[in-house]
Chain A
Amino acid sequence: MSGGHVVIVGAGQGGLQAAMSLRQEGHEGQITLIGGEPGLPYQRPPLSKAYLKTGEADKLALRPASFFESKAITLRPGIWVDAIDRAAQQVRIGSETLDYDALILATGTRNLRPPIPGLERALDLRTLEDARTLRAALDQPRRIAVIGGGFIGLEFAAVAAGLGHNVSVAEVAPRLMARAVSPEMSERFRSLHEGLGTELHLGNGVSEVTESGLLLADGTEVTADLVLLAAGVRPNVELAQEAGLEVDNGIVVGTTLRTADPQIFALGDCAAFPEATSGRRVRLESVQAATDHARCIAKAIVKGETTPYAAVPWFWSDQHELKLQIAGLADPSDESVGLEGGAVLRFRGGCLTAVETINDARTHMQARRLLGGGAVPTRDSLLEKNYDLTAA
């Protein structure tokens, strides 16, 4: 289809990329990009990194206003889509309806708000608006408590500690970033944060957010006058669900990122898609997944391509002087083999699933190539080469 109206719900990293890729692939019809947040689509990664230090919000825009004009992309910011009528092929925005020939759901995630008493006192870090509030609160010396020792909580903790604030992190799992990295990496980052003077409470959930800070499961009180909630997210699946589409920790899509309705696709943070190597249903929260999904969907819509989505996942996290890079996708229980240079290889069922590195772009890129190169490298074949990824 090179004509027709493509409606994209969600104007974040993936939604914008979908609009751009549709034009690149030669889509000639109308493109409408609808986003609940105000303003131009922007990047989120700097919100927990550079932006907190510089406050330069105008540097976050993914593309300038003129871009949307020149590409004939109708951007409708500050507008929430209320419902999808699949039979009529329409989306509903208040009393307005909009016809679509193809619909892309790029609705992302929202902060998970667990039922902890007093949690309304805690700030979020998901949107530019959140980051503005948080940054404004850092204008005086603070005692900060972060709920959640994942990427976002730790990136924030590193910046805040670097700015001289007094920081504590409470994490219910026994180690940092436990869902995403090996125990070896968790340990490296534990030393990093402790070295920055941050107090870590591991294996200790938060039972209450009080006026004076946090009350932890074991009774410890953490004094704080600023609390950040960074305990994970929920995919925004309600639109799809109410339209009768399957959801399972995300909007369920097949190998070309199409839902069971051939006119409707989902991408990025909100999409649960089959992992190419294992066929397992996964959901990723990364710039890579959002943009690679978008390109795959654009090809499917414009050119009718049916090649299964198979991009190698990659991710990064900047914490103080350490740049963590991950190629591939590991389960928390995957085995890990730490190499001398500091890289950690992850294996499941004897096959390489991911490679974690710190400040080591070389190994990271070798890993990306290796994981994208067809046959999945096995532990035995890598061991034979003494775990030299270049030789594999």
Chain B
Amino acid sequence: MVKVTYVAHDGTRTELHGDPGDSVMSLAIAQGIDGIVGECGGSMMCATCHCYVEEDWAEATGPRMDGEEDMLESAACEVTERSRLSCQIKLTEAHDGLVVHLPEEQV
């Protein structure tokens, strides 16, 4: 089990437990987190799964995937250096405790 905390734009924190192999997007969708839409189902086509990885976790989540940068440009909210497409962060045991912040809007 990998614990992930989602911090909504209004500050609400939700702790979820995922399995290795889940993405940060798919875990959120499966548990009904509102701030992630995930329209394309993780195919890196929609940028509606934008999240900001908390600083301490930048290393564990690694660099952006090939093409992720380009897709992020169409995200609805400001893109910062902490921005990731949550469908591209695949959980491993090393992510236990991960914290991601969600933007105000995804569309």
Binding site for B on A (CB under 8 A): 17, 43, 45-46, 58-59, 61-64, 66-67, 70, 287, 291, 295, 314, 316, 318, 323, 325, 359-362, 364-365, 368-369
Contact = CB atoms under 8 A, between A and B. Distances in A.
B77 interface: no
Nearest to B22: A59
B43 A45 contact: yes
B73 interface: yes
23 contacts: A17-B39, A43-B41, A45-B40, A46-B41, A59-B30, A61-B30, A62-B29, A64-B31, A66-B31, A66-B32, A287-B45, A295-B107, A314-B45, A318-B43, A325-B45, A361-B44, A361-B66, A361-B68, A361-B71, A362-B67, A364-B70, A365-B71, A369-B74
B43 A365 contact: no
Nearest to A17: B39
In this complex, which of B31, B41, B107 has the most chain A Cβ atoms within 10 angstroms of its Cβ?
B41
B6 to A, nearest CB: 15
A316 B32 contact: no
Contacts of A64: 29-32
Contacts of A17: 39
Contacts of A361: 44, 66-68, 70-71
A66 B31 CA distance: 8
A26 to B, nearest CB: 14
Interface string B43-66: 111000000000000000000001
B45 A316 contact: yes
In this complex, which of B26, B30, B45 has the most chain A Cβ atoms within 10 angstroms of its Cβ?
B45
Interface of B: 26, 29-32, 39-41, 43-45, 66-68, 70-71, 73-74, 107
In this complex, which of A63, A364, A365, A369 has the most chain B Cβ atoms within 10 angstroms of its Cβ?
A365
In this complex, which of A43, A359, A364 has the most chain B Cβ atoms within 10 angstroms of its Cβ?
A43
A63 B67 contact: no
Nearest to B107: A295
Given A61-B30, A70-B32, A365 B70 contact: yes
A368 B71 CA distance: 11
B29 A63 contact: yes
A43 B42 CA distance: 11
B40 A362 contact: no
Contact of A287 (B26, B40, B44, B74): B40
Contacts of B30: 58-59, 61, 64
A362 B32 contact: no
A67 B32 contact: yes
Contacts of A291: 39
A364 B44 CA distance: 12
Contacts of A45: 40-41, 43
Nearest to A67: B32
A59 B43 CA distance: 14
Contact of A316 (B26, B29, B43): B43
Contacts of B67: 359-362
